[in-house]
């Protein structure tokens, strides 16, 4: 049982990194970017491509993947979403959602071409494969890195949003974009920054999944999207604390299902959370009720 709990903690760390990026874009920019999973996939594929000929250390891969996927997300935003924002706010979220489906299609087809729809593993040697065994519990060195990166990423993001000038500006945009704009907050600068952070987190999650679970393939990001949406609905859109709680709740729920011989019901957990929270507290555990004057 202790081993299963440890596995759930590591899984929750990965879910946290992935969901934080999606929650940030959704909560602040009102972009439900369905391409977030494909960005994670490309984070893993980028690492695989970089290490096909020569093994690179993990720290360098993290830097490259975060920069590359952050940039890719900014490019996607500029090419696909920016024009939609300029066309007005009417049904913006729906139009962005549909545009992101198109982006997914392109990224997925590209990933299929590059990987030939096959599955690969990252080479050994990127990071220590050492396994520590303490009172019967096996802890990989990589597990520690995943926990450090997820906790560090979460803390940095929370600090940035709460305490920095840009973070406060983002919160103002999330609260009321029109008033924020009248107050002089520049969307054109903050949107790419947000999309960069979001893409970087997705890329890092993809890289860590590839390393932790020994898998790189074109479809690896798809199941994550459903889980991330469930996590965000559970925790509350745009809430860092909500994303963390949602991610760990889902990870522990899924692991408990598998550990208790209900593996086939594992994916039901995410949807059960969504239905339950929508019935009981539609704004999510950490979401706040907003009131609009008509």
State how far the Cα of 17 lies from the Cα of 32, in Å rounded to an integer: 16
Residue environment code for 88-102, b if the CB has 16+ CB neighbours within 10 A, otherwise e: eeeebeebbeebbee
Q: Which of 259, 274, 281, 283 binds another protein (CB under 8 A)?
A: 259
CB of 130 to another protein, least distance (A): 11
Does 101 contact another protein by CB under 8 A? yes
Per CB under 8 A, the segment of 5-13, 59-67, 147-155, 185-193 that binds another protein is 5-13
Of the pair 7, 239, the CB lying nearest another protein is at 7
Q: Please, are residues 185 and 172 in contact by the beta-carbon 8 Å criterion? A: yes
Listing DSSP states for 46-104 in one string gives HHHHHTTTS---HHHHHHHHHHHHHHHHHHHIIIIIHHHHHT-STTHHHHHHHHHHHHH
Cα angle 227-218-225, degrees, rounded to a multiple of 5 = 15
Residue 140 sits in the site that holds another protein (CB under 8 A)? yes
Residue by residue, DSSP assigns 190-203 as: HHHHHHHHHHHHHH
Q: Does 207 bind another protein (CB under 8 A)?
A: no
Work out which of 83, 162, 214, 288 binds another protein, going by CB under 8 A. Answer: 214
Is residue 217 near another protein by the rule CB under 8 A? Answer: yes
Binding mask 120-139 for another protein (x = CB under 8 A): xx--x------x-x----x-
Q: How far is the CB of 10 from another protein (least distance, A)?
A: 8
Interacting residues of 266 by C-beta distance below 8 A, sequence separation 6+? 254, 257, 258
Taking CB under 8 A as the rule, does residue 94 contact another protein?
Answer: no
Q: Which is nearer to another protein, 93 or 171 (CB)?
A: 93
* Contact pick of 215, 274, 281, 283 for another protein (by CB under 8 A): 215
Residues found near another protein in the complex (CB under 8 A): 3-4, 7, 10-11, 34, 37-38, 101, 104-105, 108-109, 112, 116-121, 124, 131, 133, 138, 140, 209, 212-215, 217, 219-220, 222-223, 225, 254-255, 257-259, 261, 263-264, 266-267
């Amino acid at each position: 049982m202790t081993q299963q709990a440890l596995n759930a903690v590591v899984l929750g760390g990965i879910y946290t990194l992935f969901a934080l990026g999606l929650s940030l874009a959704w909560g602040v920019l009102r972009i439900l970017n369905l391409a977030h999973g494909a960005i994670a996939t490309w984070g893993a594929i980028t690492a695989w491509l970089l290490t096909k000929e020569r093994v690179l250390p993990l720290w360098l891969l993290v830097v490259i993947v975060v920069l590359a996927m952050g940039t890719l997300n900014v490019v996607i935003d500029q090419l696909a979403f920016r024009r939609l924002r300029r066309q007005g706010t009417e049904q913006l979220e729906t139009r962005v959602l549909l545009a992101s489906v198109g982006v997914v299609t392109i990224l997925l087809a590209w990933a299929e071409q590059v990987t030939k729809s096959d599955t690969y593993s990252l080479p050994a040697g990127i990071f220590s494969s050492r396994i520590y065994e303490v009172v019967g519990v096996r802890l990989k060195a990589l597990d520690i890195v995943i926990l450090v990166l997820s906790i560090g990423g979460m803390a940095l993001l929370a600090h940035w949003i709460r305490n920095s000038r840009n973070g406060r500006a983002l919160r103002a945009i999330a609260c009321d974009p029109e008033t924020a704009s009248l107050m002089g907050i520049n969307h054109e600068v903050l949107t790419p920054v947000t999309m960069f952070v979001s893409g970087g987190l997705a890329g890092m999650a993809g890289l860590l999944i590839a390393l932790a679970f020994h898998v790189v393939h074109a479809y690896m990001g798809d199941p994550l999207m459903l889980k991330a949406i469930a996590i965000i609905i559970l925790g509350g859109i745009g809430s860092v604390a909500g994303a963390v709680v949602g991610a760990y709740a889902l990870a522990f729920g899924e692991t408990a299902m598998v550990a208790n011989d209900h593996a086939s019901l594992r994916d039901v957990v995410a949807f059960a959370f969504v239905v339950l929270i929508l019935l009981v507290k539609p704004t999510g555990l950490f979401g706040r009720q907003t009131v609009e004057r008509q």
